[in-house]
Structure 1
């Protein structure tokens, strides 16, 4: 297995979009073009995994998280972490996370990550706990506010539990 992890380049958006389309997911090229622009501007780093020369997955490091608690504490966020279904279980996600955490540790002692709370995110939930991420203690967030007792919410991709991991002292 020849795994390469590198930063996103101008030729990647169409390849990534098509790879996800093949598995029935809609991930438009424009999303990855935005990632390239933000990487160029120093706002994020997008890491691409290639297995034997084929796109296999990606992860982002966002320096100024959209999540208020991370932004206030200047905790970089691991974000939009995806490995193609056909490449799961090969350790690619762990290698992407290793590299993302290595990059974060150069600037911050703590990494943050958000994870959905329904069963589609079960594998990610387990992976993050095994990697040492723990809930930040603020409860679930809906993309705008914290969900409070008695709130009625639609469980979708916006309902997230945020976690942190100490990377160094």
Structure 2
């Protein structure tokens, strides 16, 4: 198995969207066209993994995180990390994370990442812990506000625990 890592290009959006559609996920072409535009503007780096010349997954670097704590501290965020189900637990995710961390290391000593709280995110939770990511100490955030004691929330993809790692 040959894993190749590279930046997103103009041919990728249609391929990525179709690949996720095959596994029943709705990831529209426009999402990746947006990523491409933001990459051209220098706001984001989108990294693609291919296994034997076939799309397998991607990850993004946001230089200016939407998460308030990272934004305030200038911490770049690894964002929207996805590996196709059939390529999980084969080293694809680790290679994507290695590349993202190496790119970030050129500009920052710290990297951040958010992870969902329910079982769909179990593999990611384990991967991040193994890679040395620790909670940032701010608690749970739902893309609008920090969750406080007594709050009632619906646990969905927007509710996350944010983690940080010192890059050495």
- The alignment's TM-score, normalised by the length of structure 1, stands at 0.99
Q: By how many angstroms is 1:119 displaced? A: 1.1
Counterpart CA distance in 2 for 1:144 and 1:18 is 30
Specify the alignment match of 1:22 in structure 2: 22
Per-residue displacement from partner, 1:86-124 (whole Å, max 9, x unpaired)? 111110000000000000000000000000011111111
The match for 1:167 is 167
Q: Partner residue of 1:103? A: 103
Superposition RMSD in Å:
0.5
Which position in structure 2 is the counterpart of 1:44?
44
Q: Structure 2 matches for 1:1-169, cutoff 5 A?
A: 1-168=1-168
How many angstroms does 1:160 deviate by? 0.4
Q: Following superposition, which runs of at least 4 residues in structure 1 exceed 3 angstroms of deviation?
A: none
Distance 1:115 1:142 in 2: 11
For residues 122 and 88 of structure 2, the distance between their equivalents in structure 1, rounded to whole angstroms, comes to 14
SS for the counterpart of 2:111 is strand
Secondary structure in 2 matching 1:75: coil
Structure 2 Cα separation of the partners of residues 127 and 87 of structure 1: 15
Query: CA shift at 1:2, angstroms?
Result: 1.4
Equivalent-residue separation in structure 2 for 1:62 and 1:78 (angstroms): 6
Tell me how far 1:136 sits from its aligned partner.
0.2
Q: Structure 2 unaligned runs (5+)?
A: none
User: How far apart are the structure 2 equivalents of 1:123 and 1:93?
Assistant: 10
